[in-house]
């Protein structure tokens, strides 16, 4: 008798599971439906993708870890108007370490602002 009441309650809520069947697709099955001959040019590509907000550092193909570090340091310095104490705090490094990295990467305020 208890099982019948549970089934009744489920039916009253409209959650028998039958209506939801097929809505959650398996990613592996979904991948099997993709065109194996599709190329990046076949889709919309980057059309409609918003530009990165100011101060955002994007990975570009072929970038090294040093390239990324340089870009992050430059972006942080620019965002705090070259306040090295504040930049070091944001980056989680000491001011002396930041100073060495600025020298290592040849960062200058004028150069960074023009990137």
In angstroms and rounded to an integer, the radius of gyration of the C-alpha atoms of the chain is 27
CA distance 29 to 33: 7
Exposure pattern of 32-65 as b/e (b: 16+ CB <10 Å)?
eeeeeeeeeeeeeeeeeeeeeeeeebeeeeeeee
Q: How confident is the model at residue 35 (pLDDT cuts 50, 70, 90)?
A: low
Domains of the chain: 65-113 (1.10.10.60)
**What is the full DSSP assignment across 49-72?**
PPPPPTT-----TT--HHHHHHHH
- pTM (predicted TM-score): 0.50
pLDDT tens per residue across span 69-102 = 999 999 999 999 999 999 999 999 999 999 999 9
CA distance 22 to 49: 30
Neighbours of 105 (CB within 10 A): 17
């Amino acid at each position: 008798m208890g099982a019948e009441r549970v089934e009744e309650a489920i039916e009253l809520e409209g959650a028998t599971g039958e209506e939801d069947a097929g809505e959650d697709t398996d990613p592996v099955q979904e991948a099997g439906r993709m065109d194996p001959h599709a190329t990046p040019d076949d889709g919309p590509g980057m059309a409609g993708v918003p530009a990165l907000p100011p101060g955002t550092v994007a990975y570009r193909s072929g970038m090294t870890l040093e390239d990324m570090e340089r870009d992050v340091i430059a972006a942080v310095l620019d965002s705090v108007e070259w306040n090295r104490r504040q930049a070091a705090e944001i980056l989680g490094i000491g001011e002396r370490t930041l100073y060495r990295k600025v020298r290592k990467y040849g960062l200058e305020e004028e150069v960074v602002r023009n990137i």
